[in-house]
Structure 1
Amino acid sequence: MGSVDKTLFLLSRGGDTLIVQIYVDDIIFGGSSHALVSSFAEQMNREFEMSLMAPQFFLGLQIKQALEGTFVHQAKYTRDILKKFNIGDSKPMTTPMSTNTVLDADEDGEAMDQKEFRGMIGSLLYLTATRPDIQFAVCLCACYQASPRTSHRQAVKRIFRYLKFTPELGLWFSLGSSLSLRGFSDADHAGCRIDRKSTSGTCQLLGTSLVSWSSRKQATISLSTTEAEYIAAASCCSQFLWMKATLSDFGLRFEKIPLLVDSTSAISLRTPVLHSRTKHIDVRFHFLRDHYEKGDIDLVHVAYENQLADIFTKPLEFGAFVRLRGELGVEGVDNALIKGEIENQWTGLIALLV
């Protein structure tokens, strides 16, 4: 049993490995040996009534395996929600949000049906499981679910119009990627028009594969860009600690994980020398210093144009948006599959318990 994730189970036998993940009454399992996987399937069939299927669909995710890696997408789900919310006749858009978009409470605007708006947001939130390119736009619009206005619906509708332009995009996980861990953190200082709170954007990559990301409004008001960037880095560090513990179940160990930040001022706060300038920052964020001193992470400066987390903090113009989207591994299904013939490197099955 995994030490962090209690629904994860691993079995090593000789040089082969079996991995089992349980989700409610579904099980997805795979291994490096056909014999090991078949033995597990037979044993489970003796104990439970199950139906087995190839891992092409799992919880709405479509999975395609190729020689060079695995492509995960939600193209069918995307088409379904476009049809559900009548986006078919709308003009496609090249980005999910315009750089000129300004969202606020819009108290004088025309109110819209709250149930419909929440349904749209809920559908989009599930799509962010494979579409990090819409994460920021969806999370920003989700802040107005309590009292949605027509202006908010227009912003959400633009996201759907972007999906109409890019329905086949998904995440590509390269097989040849090295097992090195790194992360990016960024912040948009005082970006919220209502309470002036900043937005933290973080992402973590295993080799070249994006495995975790977030776009979240900070809980406190930052007094400077440096403080906002520091808090975002602390959030990224927290995610690293969880990932380190989880990956240790697979026999992977990491030290001095590079955390790339584009603010030299925020990096300078890693030492307590500047205590007088940071004593107003909530003490819970200073654990970043502790883990830097322990060698768990290493704060590294990255140029602004190479900051991948920038896509999670603000709307971007088309060129920068497409470039960062590509560097995160968000690709079209055709581009992903031409990288190799469909061939499973691991034997995988999904078991549905009845």
Structure 2
Amino acid sequence: MPISTYAPSPIGISPQSTWFSPQSTWQESHPPTVSNSPNHISNFLPTAVTVPSTSPPSSQPPSHPQIQHLPASPTVDTSSTSTTPSQNQPLSLANSPPSCLDVHPTISSSPSPPPIPPPTRTHPMITRSQNQIFKPKQLYLAETPCSEIEPTCVSQALKDHRWRQAMSEEFSALVSQGTWDLVPSAPNQNIIGCKWVFRVKRGKDGQVERYKARLVAKGFHQKPGSDYFETFSPVIKPTTIRTVLSIAVSRGWKIHQLDINNAFLHGKIDEQLFMQQPAGFIDPNLPHHVCRLHKSLYGLKQAPRMWFRELKDFLVSHGFTNSRSDSSLFIFHHAANWLYVLVYVDDILITGSSPKAIDNLITAMGSKFSLKNLGQLDFFLGVEAIQTNSGLFLSQRRYIQDILQRTGMEKAKAASTPLSSTTTLRQLSGHSLTDPTVYRQVVGSLQYLSLTRPDLCFAVNRLSQFMHSPTDAHWQAVKRVLRYLNGTKFHGLLIRPQTSLSLHGFSDADWAGDKDTLISTTGYVMYLGSNPVSWKATKQRAVARSSTEAEYRALAAASSEVVWVCNLLHELGVYQSTPPVLYCDNLGATYLSRNPVMHSRMKHIAVDLHFVRDLVDQKILRVSHISSKDQLADGLTKPLSSNRFISLRSKIGVTDGSSILRGHVKERISL
């Protein structure tokens, strides 16, 4: 409401005047005193009232009105009709509204209002926080102090007592195991160099577990034919890991994890090798002597092979047999007892039907090798394994978060699919990158994610085809994959218990999908029950002249995988009562696998033709037709639309593990 001012009336003002405001009635025995500024609003305000400026904003700072004291302080009448003044009672405006005229009197006699009850919840939805379920705190993403930088040379490490202690522990372990002895050097000796490698070992939550210093031999100084001969050493296949885990979960077996300390030091070498004394630990009495190696050392060409031979001999001596399907799988079978041992260098998984037999094996291994018993499967090869009521959930969220941090994409907008279904990647799309190193590093990192993420299989395979000469268009496609990962970082592979461990698969092909070479793409996925255990997306080796030919080539590749998995299951004691079924959505390829016909257009793929047909004739597998909308391998051959991709993603085993991971954190906190 606008404020009106006035000048003193020429006829005067009555000694007793009544003043009205919207809320109060004021009684005054004297008229207001007129100041030098007759129109100033402060002339008409009671004592201790500050009036905010009501003038429009300007470039000059606002001028606050001066407080003017009236001859007699007005009093507050609690009744709007009463005319009896209250003498010498100041007005309190501490809780008054900002309006300069809406003055509320202070009423001390009114009773306090009753407390307002809390609002009742009527919405049916219950939030996660009300159930005391919170997102896990990624402490390892933010708490990495600068003092934990890994040294790059011995001089840096010697300045920190933690690294000095780690070096002493490593050197003491080498000496106690009789890794070498000191001998005088000779002119005809090929003396191998060595160096210290420093690593900060962290747990799955990112916290520092220990400081590791490892003495590594410079194997590139070795000469083939004299210093080493054979170097190959097997590691467990991802399909074998998923198959064994699926069997263990379905049968309710416990899965134990071991870590061998200084595994390569247990291997004995057959060749005569000489190495320099390690820096920082040179014998002062024999400074010019060299180390004659008796056991293998990290960095030697033959070190992995020697360690695997040592472990294999130990397991075979305890009744295990080496699998013919996977050399890193060892199987023990006696009566109704089964034990499986999976070896990936120095990381070992043990599962089986007899907990007592597992404990006996761990005890025997501990007496032979220095090891750490890590208990139940929790974190293996960078994969987090979480036991739930629904099964075993495998997640690589920490690895995904590391990739997003390295590329600066942790705050990027999420994408619904890894690749766009409307954009075709070509060899010459865009401009060549000046430095393709980052592209190759990121794509190489993405390849490891396909261990638990079949939804990334085709995208990674497609982006890997441009490693030799990537362009900015290819880099944009990589960034889209990273955006997709940012929105699905908590997704993983859920292995559920199965009542039936029957094997079946889906085979598909994208005919002439590569627009540069017109080569087709093969994709297949194999299931043990409802758990996916094997999948692949790859380019075919030759151009297919028809869609039937492309589908049949994919069918032949999938058939090879079915035969291998069947042999693996047979060794594991999982027998198939009926031949595995391979589903194909091409009628021509399905008919060719069943009928002994030879078309002129199929002569050049006679090997694949007869390979699949012989498997069908011998009842090793069955080929069955399926509609394209039910083809689960469709996402492994080409980019799909968002709706189609999301509908197939859950069917190939990829599950959103947000609630599983939060529940896991809640469990750990309660313990």
TM-score by length of 1: 0.92
Q: Could you tell me which residue of structure 2 aligns to residue 351 of structure 1?
A: none
Stretch moving more, 307-316 or 84-93 = 84-93
Which of 368, 387, 397 aligns to 1:47? It is: 368
Which of 511, 528, 532 aligns to 1:210? It is: 532
> Partners of 1:108 and 1:328 in 2: how far apart?
33
For residues 119-158 of structure 1, the aligned pairs below 5 Å read: 119-158=441-480
- Show CA shifts across 1:157-197 (max 9, x none): 10000000000111111113520000000000000011100
Contact 1:172 1:336 in 2 (8 A): no
In the alignment of these two chains, the number of paired residues is 343
Which of 392, 400, 419 aligns to 1:78? It is: 400
> Partners of 1:338 and 1:182 in 2: how far apart?
33
Q: Could you tell me which residue of structure 2 aligns to residue 304 of structure 1?
A: 628
Decide whether aligned partners of structure 1 residues 177 and 237 sit closer, same or farther in structure 2, where only a CA change above 3 A counts: same
Q: Could you tell me which residue of structure 1 aligns to residue 168 of structure 2?
A: none
Q: Could you tell me which residue of structure 2 aligns to residue 332 of structure 1?
A: 656
Q: Could you tell me which residue of structure 1 aligns to residue 562 of structure 2?
A: 240
Q: Could you tell me which residue of structure 2 aligns to residue 18 of structure 1?
A: 339
How far off its partner does 1:202 sit? 0.5
Decide whether aligned partners of structure 1 residues 14 and 118 sit closer, same or farther in structure 2, where only a CA change above 3 A counts: same
How far off its partner does 1:340 sit? 11
- Show CA shifts across 1:243-267 (max 9, x none): 1111111122334211000111111
Q: Structure 1: which 5+ runs fail to align?
A: 344-354
Which of 229, 239, 257 aligns to 2:580? It is: 257
Decide whether aligned partners of structure 1 residues 208 and 12 sit closer, same or farther in structure 2, where only a CA change above 3 A counts: same
Which of 176, 182, 185 aligns to 2:498? It is: 176
Contact 1:74 1:127 in 2 (8 A): yes
Stretch moving more, 239-248 or 267-276 = 267-276
How far off its partner does 1:3 sit? 2.4
The reply to whether residue 195 of structure 1 matches residue 195 of structure 2 is no
Decide whether aligned partners of structure 1 residues 203 and 87 sit closer, same or farther in structure 2, where only a CA change above 3 A counts: same
The reply to whether residue 88 of structure 1 matches residue 410 of structure 2 is yes
Q: Structure 2: which 5+ runs fail to align?
A: 1-321
Decide whether aligned partners of structure 1 residues 332 and 50 sit closer, same or farther in structure 2, where only a CA change above 3 A counts: same
Q: Could you tell me which residue of structure 2 aligns to residue 31 of structure 1?
A: 352
Q: Could you tell me which residue of structure 1 aligns to residue 324 of structure 2?
A: 3
How far off its partner does 1:138 sit? 1.0
Contact 1:183 1:259 in 2 (8 A): yes
> Partners of 1:339 and 1:204 in 2: how far apart?
30
Q: Which has the higher contact order (CA 8 A, sep 6+)?
A: 1
Decide whether aligned partners of structure 1 residues 17 and 87 sit closer, same or farther in structure 2, where only a CA change above 3 A counts: same
Which of 91, 94, 98 aligns to 2:420? It is: 98
How far off its partner does 1:335 sit? 5.1
Q: What SS class does the counterpart of residue 350 from structure 2 fall into? A: strand
Q: What SS class does the counterpart of residue 605 from structure 2 fall into? A: coil
How far off its partner does 1:135 sit? 0.8
Which of 416, 431, 434 aligns to 1:109? It is: 431
> Partners of 2:336 and 2:610 in 1: how far apart?
42
Q: Could you tell me which residue of structure 1 aligns to residue 78 of structure 2?
A: none
The reply to whether residue 167 of structure 1 matches residue 501 of structure 2 is no
Decide whether aligned partners of structure 1 residues 336 and 258 sit closer, same or farther in structure 2, where only a CA change above 3 A counts: farther
| RMSD, aligned α-carbons | 2.1
> Partners of 1:335 and 1:94 in 2: how far apart?
20
- Show CA shifts across 1:249-287 (max 9, x none): 112233421100011111111123143341132524530
Q: Could you tell me which residue of structure 2 aligns to residue 276 of structure 1?
A: 600
The reply to whether residue 61 of structure 1 matches residue 383 of structure 2 is yes
> Partners of 2:632 and 2:499 in 1: how far apart?
18
Q: Could you tell me which residue of structure 2 aligns to residue 346 of structure 1?
A: none
Q: Which has the higher helix share?
A: 1
Amino acid aligned to 2:339: L
Q: What SS class does the counterpart of residue 148 from structure 1 fall into? A: coil
What is the aligned-residue identity percentage?
A: 37
Decide whether aligned partners of structure 1 residues 285 and 116 sit closer, same or farther in structure 2, where only a CA change above 3 A counts: farther
How far off its partner does 1:320 sit? 1.0
Amino acid aligned to 2:342: Q
Contact 1:201 1:310 in 2 (8 A): yes
Which of 543, 546, 557 aligns to 1:221? It is: 543
Amino acid aligned to 2:369: F
Q: Could you tell me which residue of structure 2 aligns to residue 352 of structure 1?
A: none
Q: Which has the higher strand share?
A: 1
Decide whether aligned partners of structure 1 residues 116 and 299 sit closer, same or farther in structure 2, where only a CA change above 3 A counts: same
Amino acid aligned to 1:330: V
> Partners of 1:169 and 1:42 in 2: how far apart?
37
How far off its partner does 1:26 sit? 1.8
- Show CA shifts across 1:221-253 (max 9, x none): 000011000100100000011111111111223
Contact 1:113 1:148 in 2 (8 A): no
Decide whether aligned partners of structure 1 residues 107 and 133 sit closer, same or farther in structure 2, where only a CA change above 3 A counts: closer
- Show CA shifts across 1:63-87 (max 9, x none): 1122332111101111111101110
Q: What SS class does the counterpart of residue 281 from structure 1 fall into? A: helix
Q: What SS class does the counterpart of residue 633 from structure 2 fall into? A: helix
Q: Could you tell me which residue of structure 1 aligns to residue 617 of structure 2?
A: 293
- Show CA shifts across 1:19-70 (max 9, x none): 1111112211122332222111111000000012131111111111223321
Contact 1:198 1:221 in 2 (8 A): yes
Contact 2:458 2:635 in 1 (8 A): yes
How far off its partner does 1:213 sit? 0.3
